[in-house]
Structure 1
Amino acid sequence: MLICSHCGASLDPVAASWRPRPPCCGVLPGSHEHHNKNNLRESPMDLDPNSGLVPLHRHPLGFIEAFCHLGAPLERLLGGTGLSAPMFEMQEVMISYRQFQRLLYNGIHLCQRPGLGLAVGMHFDWSYWGPVGYVVHCSPSLKHAGEAFRRYLVTAQPLFAEHAAQPNAYLDADGRIVEPIDYMTGSDDDPLMRDFIREWRLAITLRIWDQCGNKSVADPSLHVRLGFPEPADRRPYEILPCDSLTFGCQEYAISAHMDYVFQRFRPFRKRAFEKLIRECERELTHRVEAVTFTERVFWHVRAYFRPDLDLNAVARQMRLTPRSLTRRLACESASFRKILYEVRMEIASHQLRHSSLDVDEVAALAGFSCGSSLRRAVKGWAGMTVSEMRNQEGIGSRGNLT
């Protein structure tokens, strides 16, 4: 995740430095487009770094298990955190971000070794994500798995009250889906913490892509590009499930062919996946009061977006009547039309900023009638031309990711 350039806040408790920074002003993982004047959403709930908001039995216990597996003595690992082994047997224990970060700090210093974050990420069990972790075994596609993790991460990491993140991955001109992974950590003053977090994210993300992608397609290859020189000891990276790993690149990214990402497989597990999603939704409803109905509609529109998506389709997906959906949005001063337009602009602007697709292709993806219509919409929505938006990211000079 990123550091907001507008407010300087860390967006990810795992990524923040050992002293937690205040929560971000409302930016979502992977984008700063929330600062657009047309954005409908409010800032996320205020979080006190000393308040008990993080479920101990989710990510914190996953890190504890991994660090102990790699040789950290439990007593020293828990030193200064206020945690103890008997708490592992208790129900619904909540810890603070400060405790969580002290735990990470201890583990990193007790298990110092090349590629520590990779080793922890490869050992980190899916059960520590809560019910959503099990979708890796039954999701119909990588796309479905990714949407589920993004939506329900908030149950393990409450900082993501606005968890239905704006676009991160994008479709490039070579038919490959690219996910940038150059997330700032907020820990540049502590190289050990910074590198650990980046490595952990890389390992976790690759495991999801490896387990949930359709390997029966013509091109099932996974490619990784990293923006730092090849390390002296490359062996820790050899455990990663990818087909190529290139160091010294201009970008950090994972890429795979769009068929690998979108084409469905595992048809006999569909009911298991649907049951898991229902359980995740129930847990989300009970755990996260700060998630508004408007945010839930945003997630559904993003998850099921297509150029001809309409109110009736989203209402069916949410098991509501169109009138009920419209009325509940109106109670929060929102409307389906505005939500659909914002999601359409999020998708279009993200593609324009990052992909090599031409303007007409992006217009078709986002549901605009033509490139000229998209150009006018971008000017009104972002206050800049398409050319200015693309020049910000240097489109055209990046080259292919494979």
Structure 2
Amino acid sequence: MARRTITVHHVRAVLRGAERRGVDTVPLLRGAEIPPLLLGDDRARVSVPQFARLFRELYRATQDEFLGLGSAVSRPGTFAMMCQASLGCRDLGAAVQRGVTFYGLFPGGPDLVLERRGDEAVFGVRSDLEQDYFLAECLVIIWHRLCSWLIGRRIPLRWAEFGHPPPPHRDEYALLFGCPVRFGAGRTGAGFATHWLDAPLVRDEEALDEMLRRAPFELLTRREYGTTVAEQVRRTLARSLRSSPRLPSLGEVAARLAVSPATLRRRLAEESTSYQQLKDAVRRDAAIAGLAEGHEPIADLAARLGFSEDTAFHRAFRRWTGTTPGAYRISRGGLG
């Protein structure tokens, strides 16, 4: 299945902490097989494995779970101890509150908050983390997915808000968080139904040990549970692309999801996307993954992705990334 790709804006953001510490990030980028010149193009994207390698390179270089993005170092093992402390709680609400209390013990640590407002719960990040909003966003994502993991069910978010103006890659947010988003708020956070806080924890220490071997990066990049309409459509398209270059039409996808085409269009619009955007994203991500991870001839890759002519693939790839397939592969030291 074609995996998502990651915008270069997030690559730049994750490097900021190391750069502020005076770390030479060029070797780290090369270790992750990300061409440093790629960072100069706002339309560039990298594959999930490339971003994973960069994350690990930064972790080793900074010895900080916050990768130098916070005002204080979070020593390796802090997140694991928080998870261990929360695992024995009676329900999710108690586990989250214990985690909030745990991080509140560290001077300069993240100022996390859990609030109950009637039928809605809000998890948020306050304090100077807003100076580096990428870290605040990562904390909300990690906590949301950790909570979903703890109870064995994805918690649907009602909304997410961010304490900064809309960034150039604002269109990424609705898909990333799976809910309506807004910018320029007083803080970064997300809301969900309060009843989820009463859910019992279903994980044990053995499962936690397994999760921690991949955390926190696995929590940042894991695919959602397919509960949003956009994720269901994307999953259907990606599965189809594995077996045939012809992607199903909107009507065919609607039939598979047992809804009318008009309903599918409306629901995708409510999630701030469209069928055409998702189809382009699936092809784009498959193209980037093919160029970044393999040595498949470009003509064969174009045909596999459903392009009848190489020139059409080149035009589409330039529109998606700002460069040509050949230039992208050469920049990685691959085959043209």
TM bucket, shorter chain: 0.3 to 0.5
Give the TM-score, by structure 2 length: 0.40
- Which structure has the highest helix share of the two? 2
